[in-house]
Amino acid sequence: MSDERGTPGDARDARRTRLSRSVWALGLVSLCQDVSSELVHCLLPLFLVSGLGASALAVGLLEGVALAIPNLVKIVSGTVSDRMGRRKPLLVLGYG
């Protein structure tokens, strides 16, 4: 039977599950990148139409390409990462 009270080993296990500084830094960088890109993303169509005189078709095509490229890169980088067996070099390349 096991004792329900915590043991010193439990405290060590809890410390091991904490996220490292690298993970926190990467999360913060990702948050800042997402916020900045979303700010630009919502204003870009307005600028293209009113400032540059682009048509709705041109804005739609541009938005479609802008959404397709990251998804294609995810597929390629995921395949490369699986073949390499390492994630960090591609992560550094993507955020570096």
Does 1 reside within a domain? no
Does 36 reside within a domain? yes
Instruction: Name the DSSP class of 96.
Output: -
Q: Classify residue 52 as exposed, middle or buried by CB count within 10 Å of its CB (0-12, 13-18, 19+).
A: exposed
Q: What is the per-residue pLDDT across 37-85, written as a single tens digit (0 to 9) for each?
A: 888 888 989 999 999 999 999 999 999 998 899 899 889 888 888 888 8
The pTM (predicted TM-score) of the whole model is: 0.53
Does 2 reside within a domain? no
Does 3 reside within a domain? no
Does 86 reside within a domain? yes
What pLDDT is recorded for position 61? 95
